[in-house]
Chain A
Amino acid sequence: MNDLHRLTIHESHTLLKEKKISSVELTRAVLKYLESIDGKIRACMRITAEQAMASAAAADKAIAEGRCSPLTGVPAIIKDNMCTRGITTTCGSKMLENFVPPYNAHVIEKLNSVNAVMVGKANMDEFAMGSSTENSAFFTTHNPWKLDCVPGGSSGGSAAAVAADACIYALGSDTGGSIRQPAGFCGVAGLKPTYGRVSRYGLVAFASSLDQIGPLAKDVTDAALIMNVISGHDKRDSTTVPLEVPDYTRALKIDIKGLKVGVPREYLVEGMQPAVRKAIETAAKKLAELGALVEWNVSLPNTRYGLAAYYILAPSEASANLARYDGVKYGYSYRETTSMWESMEKTKQFGFGAEVKRRIMLGTYALSAGYYDAYYLKAQKVRTLIKRDFDRAFEKYDVLVTPTSPTVAFQIGEKSDDPLQMYLSDICTLPINIAGVPAISIPAGFADGLPVGMQFIGKHFGEETLLRAAFAYEQATPWHKQKPVIA
């Protein structure tokens, strides 16, 4: 069988279950394609071929014994900020260039428990800080649709690999848009679950009140199948909630008659690309055609404070989280001195890249004596305002629909010297993390040959409604079937 790498999870599962293919065949095909194409895309920090083939053989044994759940034997790429025991986990940073975790992240344990197969670790912006992968300490990933464009970030390697069919699915993490924005730029499905839905145990911490792990997938069905495996309470992450995990595939019904959809006007921002606006308006009309009750003039009035609040809260938390990289226990360590303080300062100076340093500085400033009330505390109060905007909107609407980003993928190098311009790329995604609600980005058309992402936002633990709306739209449109031709 040709082109096995192009399969979705649900297609792979059917073939594996009916024993028409083996996981070893599927994994070999994916690895062969990934290795042939990654010189152009550069999605992977490392390809883990040997371990993948061993996992595939184990998956085939499980399938022969009758244990074949939807992810069994299906090859995935994992963002390089999730700890994988015995496999280097760099987090895109020189600081962790040689870090080999002594344990697995919770999500890796979950994948292992169903005999999933990991074929590689994905490139990312350093410590997940960035919107393009240009902040990776090692190299930049290319957008499969246009190789001179960024794939988005920070989960850019994960999104590019899925879009290029270089794996069957991927995991990413999302602190202010890091799953959804690259999913939008690359034309795949990317879901940020509700805060507390998926354990972050073993995820390298960035901003702990905002970080979530989630799927990047070729379609909405696959996103639901991944959510079924990775969701749930974990006592090692006390922010996970002890709620039942539903079977998310039950939400995949092509029926959105009467679904109340709001289009917040503040997300159709000034400066957004006209083609993106048009795609989202056309998509919202499509939802109405499918029976949804679309209200166009919804207001989330505090959206305008989202960017500033986020870029105070996230760097503040990061400045505390990243204080652990002191060159003592693991990671890069500057040792050309006998002074403890000099060793610590130079470890950070040489181990961190420019954006990470910028955020540590910003966060340290916002938390420092004399500025705490004006910046950090103020931002936390604005967080309350933003959260209440969503609470109020969800009293009237089941889902909100917005663009995922104000533009399609930009050129490599276009914004890398201007941090504020780069931050603006996440203007439609970061309020969602501030409020802790779930959101999914799915493809909703093209502009200049690049995918346009549409974001569905739901209420806390409303993933089923999100998936239902996204699935109905996806099944009524051709976008998810379109694939890049990689030149």
Chain B
Amino acid sequence: MKLTDEEVRHIALLARLGISDAEVEKFRNQLSNILENFDILSQADTEGLPPTAQSIALENIFRPDEAGPSLPVDDVLANAPDREENCFKVNAVLE
């Protein structure tokens, strides 16, 4: 599987990962090489097999819907890059 520059830029956009021209070239080569090695998976006979999402057969863990103590607002906002009153402050989402 050889990736193109356009595909690399598309993947970066899907991940919202900024990427320099030098990185496009580097990742194109490295990811192509890695994916080529992963072609081995096509040799595995998985006909009719269910996928495994996690290894322990636990499912649907419920808990009572009860209010409990939460972290104080100031503690939660202490790491915020920017805040205004009790909110995280970000650039305008809608112009």
A-B pair count, CB < 8 Å, reads 167
Select B51's contact among A103, A358, A380, beta carbons within 8 Å.
Answer: A380
B81 touches A333 (CB 8 A): yes
Total number of B residues with any Cβ neighbor in A under 8 Å: 50
Bound Cα distance A162, B86 (Å): 43
Residues of B within 8 A of A354 (CB): 26
Residues of B within 8 A of A332 (CB): 81
B88 touches A362 (CB 8 A): no
A337 CB-CB contact with B under 8 Å: yes
Main SS of chain B's interface residues? loop
B14 touches A384 (CB 8 A): no
Give per-residue flags for B44-67: 1 if the beta carbon is below 8 A from chain A beta carbons, else 0: 101001111111101001010000
A103 touches B52 (CB 8 A): no
Bound Cα distance A98, B49 (Å): 45
Residues of A within 8 A of B12 (CB): 361
Select A362's contact among B31, B43, B90, beta carbons within 8 Å.
Answer: B31
**Min C-beta distance of B82 to chain A, whole Å:** 7
Bound Cα distance A419, B79 (Å): 33
Select A358's contact among B27, B49, B71, beta carbons within 8 Å.
Answer: B27
Given A103-B71, A196-B58, is A348 in contact with B41 using a C-beta cutoff of 8 Å?
Answer: no
In the complex formed, the residue of B with least CB distance to A386 is B52
Give per-residue flags for A350-391: 1 if the beta carbon is below 8 A from chain B beta carbons, else 0: 101010011011101100100000010111111111010000
**Min C-beta distance of B19 to chain A, whole Å:** 7
Bound Cα distance A340, B41 (Å): 39
Select A329's contact among B8, B43, B49, B80, beta carbons within 8 Å.
Answer: B80
Main SS of chain A's interface residues? helix
In the complex formed, the residue of A with least CB distance to B45 is A385
In the complex formed, the residue of B with least CB distance to A368 is B14
Mind listing 9 A-B residue pairs with CB under 8 Å? A102-B75, A327-B81, A331-B81, A345-B16, A354-B26, A361-B15, A364-B15, A375-B41, A381-B44
Binding site for A on B (CB under 8 A): 8, 11-12, 14-20, 23, 26-27, 30-31, 33-35, 37-38, 40-44, 46, 49-56, 58, 61, 63, 71, 75-76, 78-82, 88, 90-93
4 closest A-B pairs by CB: A436-B55, A349-B18, A380-B51, A333-B81
